[in-house]
Amino acid sequence: MADKQIPSIDALIENSRTRGYVMDRSLATAIYLLVQLGKPLLIEGHAGVGKTEAAKVLASILGTELIRLQCYEGLDVNSAVYEWNYQKQLLAIKLQEGRNRELRDLEAHIFGPDFLLQRPLLKSISGEEKSPVLLVDEIDRADEAFEAFLLEVLGEFQISIPELGTIKAAKPPYVILTSNGARELSDALKRRCLYHWIDYPSFEKEMDIVHARLPGIGTELGAQVVSFLHSLRKMSLSKIPGVAETLDLSTALMLLEKNLDTETAERTIGCVIKSADDLTRVREEGLDKLLAS
């Protein structure tokens, strides 16, 4: 199935490029292994280097659904796996009130699939035709209890719902987890996953990305923006701009139809610098100096 869309590593690189995502060989190899081995892939890297994008492009290449689970502090099983639709259940009970229905019957009815709200994890294992891509975004934000639960799901690709029984995936999803490294993940989770680290791209690769994403951009403008971003990344900022910011700034300048000089940089600085402290620091350093280097 997946062999048809991704016959080889080279094909994967090629396919993702046509979709505007520049994948280097090592990431392509990792994703190829993920598809072939059916193991989850943990992608780590700074914010805005294209971790989430990798999952999107994989789903697009495979022609399958992308199911996204955004993790946050306090994420619990109910919002990640399933929830009963309580209101609907109560209404159903109310409707049945007059009609002498067997209690057991009624119970089977209101705890049936009609009343089940699927959340991302359950949805990802109940696909029947194609394996979806499950993106577990920012797993480091969820707490450890949830991580342990996730481990169980990823190990067996099955979920037990007390009222319904165990649901096992007919088509196990391809799983990509991303992490910003806000906290150390458990050894058990790491052991189960393939791993890939995405660093900030080199000048050449970033140029490549800019061209793939914004085909209309001139080489000169692209080079200006990328080298500006590279010199920003060398400063000690609290929010280091990623590739996403490079693209934002490029788009902004294309819209303004301007080249990047001190004046336009000052006007568009909000695309790349996202905190007041950083802004002061950049101004102290001097925009013209940053642009010149």
* Contacts with other proteins, residue ranges (CB under 8 A): 8-10, 25-26, 29-30, 32-33, 36-37, 39, 41-42, 44, 73-74, 86-87, 90-91, 94, 141, 143-145, 181-184, 187, 190-191, 193-197, 238
Closest among 210, 173, 205 to 25, alpha carbons compared: 205
Nearer CB in complex with other proteins: 133/221? 133
Distance in Å, CB of 268 to other proteins, minimum: 24
Considering beta carbons, is residue 141 or 213 the nearer one to other proteins?
141
Strand spans (E) along 88-223: 116-118, 133-137, 158-161, 165-168, 174-179, 194-198
- Name the residue nearer to other proteins (CB basis): 61 or 253: 61
Q: 8 vs 219, which CB is nearer to other proteins?
A: 8
What is the spatial distance between Cα 4 and Cα 38, in angstroms, rounded to a whole number?
A: 16
Q: Could you tell me the two tokens for 4?
A: 């048809």
Smallest separation (angstroms) from other proteins to the CB of 190? 4
Q: Nearer Cβ to other proteins, position 27 or 287?
A: 27
Max distance between CA atoms of the chain, in angstroms, equals 83
In 3-state terms, what secondary structure has residue 103?
Answer: helix
Bridging pattern class, strands 174-179 and 133-137: parallel
- State the amino acid at position 232 in one-letter form: L
Q: How many contiguous H segments (helices) and E segments (strands) does the chain have? A: 16, 9
Closer CB to other proteins, 90 or 164, in the complex: 90
Distance of closest approach, residue 46 Cβ to other proteins, in angstroms: 10
Nearest-approach distance from CB 107 to other proteins, in angstroms: 19
**In the bound complex, what is the minimum distance in angstroms from residue 145's beta carbon to other proteins?**
8
CB atoms within 10 A of CB 156: 14
Question: What is the Cα gyration radius of the chain?
Answer: 24
The two structure tokens encoding residue 104:
């057991």
The least distance separating other proteins from the CB of residue 109, rounded to whole angstroms, comes to 18
Say how far apart CA 192 and CA 11 lie, in whole Å.
26
Q: Is the CB of 82 or the CB of 146 nearer to other proteins?
A: 146
> Is the CB of 31 or the CB of 225 nearer to other proteins?
31
Q: Least distance from C-beta 281 to other proteins, angstroms?
A: 12
What's the min distance (Å) between Cβ of 95 and other proteins? 11
**CA proximity to 80, closest of 36, 146, 133:** 146
The C-alpha angle with vertex 51 and arms to 147 and 119, in degrees rounded to 5, equals 45
Token reading at 99: 């009609």
